[in-house]
Amino acid sequence: MITMFDRIASTYDRLNGLITFGMDKTWRRSVATMILAKNPTSILDVATGTGALAIDLATQSSIEVIGIDISQEMLTIGKDKIHSLGLDETIRMQLDDAESLSFKNNQFDAVTIGFGVRNFEDLNQGLREVNRVLKPGGQLVILETSVPTYFPFKQGYYLYTKWIIPLFGKLFARNKVAYEYLSTSAKIFPHGERFNEILRKNGFKNTVSYPKMFGIVTIYSAFK
């Protein structure tokens, strides 16, 4: 898993924008707005990748954001982006495992995860760790892929993820296999009320899901 993300790190941002037709930026801003509305003073961005969501959070506020990821290559690219934006004092990027976080209990007011929770090897363990480091009453907001339920969006989604996304991966990232994995993981990941139930089983309450763009992605909000 780590090796796969290291290999696609250099093209990850560009391909995300291409695959989502640029809508990934809008969805991340929605997550940032939702989180910042609660006026947190400490934020952890789990599976931060190249720091796209952490950057959105930091540019909309002066709050320190810690971004963690298992891929050193992703973090290296993210640190370069952060430096170029003059956000070195606001965003701290570090190597860490979402399923064994190095932070103390009840440390953060808020946690975000953008397009990363479906890549947890042990979903329940990762969510329990997120719950552990959140303060009581703290908010978790997750942006993740989901599957449309209505015709013709459901049929179009399956065609797009089966054929087009792997093709983009082959052409632009020279890694068709990685994007075949990402497409497959998106299709089998529990979404909507199924994922809300998983959140509740791992210590969260007030779980709400907000499908976006006919249900191809969903934003989840929950509290410890």
pLDDT for 167-213, tens place per residue?
555 555 555 455 555 556 667 789 999 999 999 999 999 999 999 97
Q: Rounded to an integer, what distance in angstroms lies between the CA atom of residue 143 and that of residue 45? A: 11
pTM as predicted:
0.88
- The distance from CA 152 to its chain's CA centroid, rounded to whole angstroms, is 27
Q: Cα(179)–Cα(221) distance, rounded to whole angstroms?
A: 27
Cα–Cα distance measured from residue 9 to residue 185, given in angstroms and rounded to the nearest whole number? 18
Q: Which domains does the chain have, with CATH numbers?
A: 2-148+190-223 (3.40.50.150)
* Nearest-angstrom CA–CA distance, 29 and 55: 10
Residue closest to 109 by CA, chosen among 52, 28, 56, 45:
45
pLDDT at 158: 62
**Three-state SS for 214?**
helix
For the segment 104-122, the average pLDDT, to the nearest whole number, is 96
